[in-house]
Structure 1
Amino acid sequence: MKTLFPTHALRRLLGAAGLACAALATPAALAQQPAYPAQPITMVVPHAPGGTNDIVARLMAAELAPRLGQTVVVNNRPGAGGNIGTEQVSRATPDGYTVLMTVSSTQVINPALYSKPGFDAVKDFAPVHTVGVVPNVLLVHPDFPARNLAEFIEVVKRNPGKYQYASAGNGSLNHLLGAMLNQMAGLQLEHVPYRGVAPAMTDVLGNQLPIVFASLPSSLAYIQAGKLRALGVSTATRSPALPDVPAIGEQIPGYSGDLWIAMFAVAGTPPAVIERLAKASHDAMADPGVQKKLAEIGVERLDDTPQRLAKRQDEDLVRWKRIVDASGARVD
């Protein structure tokens, strides 16, 4: 018999039923539990220090600590496109003392990209709160013979197969953004995967390769210093941090691909704990000082509830699977 719901949607319903059962715990049982949080919280970042997710996680950890009354320790566990740290969190005790601060490329692209990522993005995690969305920027070395997006498309079309673009690895968001650009603009950019965005950026800064897609927080300083030229942003609209740089979709209708950053707990974490974490994160995001800091590094506030984050993730799992399948990218 065919199910009436997609698998991930059915899992959301089952998860919600579990949370409802947990909420019926007796007052006596609840009274025996110490108030949360009663000890420091570990925030696992499944990516290397210095990247977008790490920058945001450290800001949020500092802001969450006074609101929760406990230290929030950031623990970087990079590797396999974020899979290693994410799998580690999936196996943690569901008590709210280990949380995951991750990005959409790991949580919704990797399940389509890897045959065995080591975790189930829906079944193993409980959505807590979305911090914000991050544009990626199409960047070229200043010596590249194009000063805007229209010139870039013209130059690349005149020279099919001549130009290469760097990415953080096969199936990474910046790889897929380039693949989308090829498909939608009729280009023939050659893809060169690296082991992470940092070495990719290093080679583009040194003009070993001329082109890269990179997140706005990790590239803004290079853009402002004139070391890289920004030609377009990947979000559907322009970024307030780069108001003079067009959205790629302005010239290529329908082109859009952003990166969201969000907090997840381990599946089975008590609803009251998730609510406490979500409220602390929401309150931190409501602080004008925090909003200013995020805007300065190119992160646009989203402030999703757990329910809205679950819906966003479910929709993006379907969307990015389609894009990954069309690109032919696979990592086994």
Structure 2
Amino acid sequence: MYPFVYSKLDYDPFADLAPVATVATTTDALALGPLVPPSVRGLRDFLAWAKEHPEHASFGSPGTGTPLHLLGALVAKEAGVYLRHVAYRGAAPGVTDLIGGQIACMAAPTGTFLSFQKAGKLRIIATSGPQRTPFTPDTPTFAEQKFGADYPAGDQWLGFFAPSGVSPQTVSRLHQMVAEAVNRKAVAEALASLGLVAHSLTPQAMASSLRKQHEKWWEVVRRVGFTAES
């Protein structure tokens, strides 16, 4: 998405990087804090509440121009509701303000919220991806709730890249090493504790996924109308 957000980048993600292997798949989520009444349970409920209480209608993200910023902006635009964006330097300070009642809603990786939801300090109301995440099976996806369905998170993953120009043999060896590690039970359990699902894609599958996400992000950035210079 960054080639569409920033007019100048110091790198070309397709020309300068060689996909090696993915480590895990992940999802993003919207969560509500105590500023929003407990009766507000779903995304549609929250958007209706935000329209009725514009003075409190806000959402935080880990930073301006990040995918999470665009997620909140996309949902707000589709709903025709103004949500004041509050940008943080990372997810942690935003979650602190969320559970402290300083902001109404926060967009962050799902794993960021899990321990706080378990403790009853916040509630996750929507997650990204084509199906519900196993970490919050009772929480419907954005697509199920008819908002933010075009957020390009269906193929969202974390992975390793090498500099372009690395030999195919080296990429193959690196991929095998990462894949073997990801398949270990201890690694899968450690990833799950962070809200991540262990999953390894081949370099070819990574490249294909990147191309698909690239095309989807252009449409999201266009619809939201955000650039780093705007």
TM-score normalised to the size of structure 1? 0.63
Question: In structure 1, what is the Cα distance between the partners aligned to 2:184 and 2:157?
Answer: 19
Change (3 A) 1:257 1:144: farther
Task: Decide whether the 8 Å contact of 1:177 with 1:257 is kept in 2.
Answer: no
The percentage of aligned residue pairs carrying the same residue is: 33
Q: CA deviation at 1:294?
A: 1.9
Work out which structure has the larger RCO, using CA pairs closer than 8 Å and 6 or more positions apart in sequence.
2
Change (3 A) 1:260 1:204: same
- The amino acid that maps onto 2:162 is A
CA-atom RMSD in angstroms: 1.9
Correspondence 1:37-52 to 2 at 5 A: none
2:121 aligned residue (227, 250, 259) = 227
Task: Decide whether the 8 Å contact of 1:161 with 1:189 is kept in 2.
Answer: no
2:12 aligned residue (87, 96, 120) = 120
Question: In structure 2, what is the Cα distance between the partners aligned to 1:237 and 1:186?
Answer: 25
Change (3 A) 1:256 1:325: closer
Q: Which residue of 2 aligns with 1:327?
A: 224
State which structure, 1 or 2, has the greater radius of gyration over its C-alpha atoms: 1
Asked if 1:290 is matched to 2:187, the reply is yes
1:280 aligned residue (177, 185, 198) = 177
Correspondence 1:124-139 to 2 at 5 A: 124-139=16-31
1:213 aligned residue (98, 104, 107) = 107
Q: CA deviation at 1:130?
A: 1.4
More helix by share: 1
1:173 aligned residue (67, 78, 82) = 67
Task: Decide whether the 8 Å contact of 2:150 with 2:220 is kept in 1.
Answer: no
SS at match of 1:116: coil
Asked if 1:305 is matched to 2:199, the reply is no
Q: CA deviation at 1:203?
A: 1.8
TM-score normalised to the size of structure 2? 0.89
Deviates more, 1:159-168 or 1:213-222: 159-168
- The amino acid that maps onto 1:220 is L
Question: In structure 1, what is the Cα distance between the partners aligned to 2:102 and 2:89?
Answer: 16
Task: Decide whether the 8 Å contact of 1:182 with 1:188 is kept in 2.
Answer: yes
2:97 aligned residue (181, 197, 203) = 203
Q: Which runs of 5+ in 1 are unaligned?
A: 1-108
Q: Which runs of 5+ in 2 are unaligned?
A: none
Q: Which residue of 2 aligns with 1:266?
A: 163
